Amino acid sequence: MTTYLLALDQGTSSSRSIVFDAQGRIVASAQQELPQIYPRPGWVEHDPREIWRTQLSTAREALTKAGLKASDIRSVGITNQRETTIVWNRATGTPIHHGIVWQDRRAEPTCQQLREAGHSDAILQKTGLRIDAYFSGTKLKWLLDHSPGARAAAERGELAFGTVDSWLIWQLTGGKRHVTDVSNASRTMLFNVHTNQWDADLLALLDIPASLMPEVLPSAADYGHTAEDVLGGAIHIGGVAGDQQSALFGQACFEAGMAKNTYGTGCFMLMHTGQQFQTSANGLLTTSAAQPSGTPQFALEGSVFVGGAVVQWLRDGLRAIEHSGQVQQLAESVPDSGGVMLVPAFTGLGAPYWDADARGSITGLTRGTTLAHIARAALESIAYQSAALLLAMSRDAVANGGAAVSELRVDGGACVNNLLMQFQADLLGIPVVRPACVETTALGAAYLAGLSSDVYQSTEELSQLWKAERRFVPTMDKARADELMARWERAVRQTTAQ
């Protein structure tokens, strides 16, 4: 009898569900767009009810497409957009406010106060994170301070906080389980990654009642069962990880020094550091990796806030293309960007720059510049930002006695763009490897669910399942690559100096 795993992949721009077989092959999938809400510049929200509605709808659709019922699924894995912050009433299940999305910058004033009060080093040592509005803790404080009656209700124990995984599990289990995993918890700025527990001092610092917080479990664990009426029967929920840690797991990057980059709405690069907690001297974060057991494991991470979203801007803002798939053809209609550099700092710059006030810029324009040059520069900006991350990671690895990253495993929607992947390999000077299954975020959640339900016995078994589809080998002269990176850094300096 074939074994099946169901992965729920709740992302920033869409909700997806994928049924995998035990070999990690896709059997069926379904996807629905998730509307973004922009109340004012720098603010980004989601309706939590839409998150649940679209996720449930795709799960049911994927099962129908696969011709399967609940009893055919061994376990459910969940992976999710991280840091997005939801608070709901425990009795009614009603959200008190729209979810505040990871991209949202409204909590920056609180972050500035924390920095000025001298809390940066303590938070970095406990959480691995820099103080930034990106993370959930200050978003949660904002919700308690600005939603009518929220703080009093929280003090009475009436409210529950969760990242998207917690919200989905609450809904899937009919309100029976209020839980999260270590990888999602590590993105809140409230979690001690050394002890794998909520930190009482950090909760007090942000005036957050401990009763709000979910129980934290390993990434492969018993998260309960779906309610009978949700998917047509009770299914074990066995794996949970934040999307980037899930992708690292799905890429079979289980050992120190292995790295992956996910090209999605943003770009997210992680390098596994094993059981060693490393703080970065190069603007990167330390985060908890997906942990199949209770033993802490870590990764260095760099985040690009605007990756594939720059292609959406070309489509919806500039109207340079009608649909995203046209960008490669437009970019390839010119041999290069004609000296144009586009820095897509639409919501500030993430690692390794960390400039919340930076805004996008286009430099190097001439009378001969065309839309094609701008499209190529936009596409190349994804590779430049990712290269800056990997170079920073390699410096950190060498400084901590390790080796520089020798290959980069890639996934996410934009990794299917061959022009982008070749340019990425050229800039980095190492092979860029695209796997046979690029849905590695969902696959990681399925693998974790499979580990907790005895479909798989070890990560060694999972390593054997990983297969490469194409290797992009560098063809550019190193001196030319260095020159291009220097031009990129100059463009970034011009952007941040505004």
Residues placed in the known binding site for glycerol: 82-83, 134, 243-244
Q: Rounded distance, CA 427 to CA 421, Å?
A: 10
The end-to-end CA distance of the chain, in Å, is 62
Annotated binding site for ADP: 12, 16, 265, 308, 413, 417
Annotated binding site for ATP: 12-14, 265, 308, 312, 413
Q: Give kind and range of the element (H or E) at residue 26.
A: strand 26-33
Annotated binding site for sn-glycerol 3-phosphate: 12, 82-83, 134, 243
DSSP string, 116-160: HTT-HHHHHHHHS--S-TTSHHHHHHHHHHHSTTHHHHHHTT-EE
The residue assigned the tokens 């998917």 is 231
Which residue, among 181, 141, 143, has the nearest Cα to 165 in the 3D structure? 181
**Strand, coil or helix: 21:** strand
Annotated binding site: 12-14, 16, 82-83, 134, 243-244, 265, 308, 312, 413, 417
User: Maximum distance among all alpha carbons in the chain?
Assistant: 65
Q: How far is CA 400 from CA 253, 277, 299, in A?
A: 19, 10, 13
Output the six-digit token pair for 102. 């990871």
Q: Rounded distance, CA 151 to CA 206, Å?
A: 12
The residue ranges of DSSP E strands in 137-290, in sequence order, are: 159-162, 179-181, 191-192, 197-198, 215-217, 237-242, 259-263, 267-274, 285-288
Instruction: Find all residues with CB under 8 Å of 225, minimum gap 6, and list them.
Output: 173, 234, 235, 236, 237
Q: Rounded distance, CA 217 to CA 96, Å?
A: 25
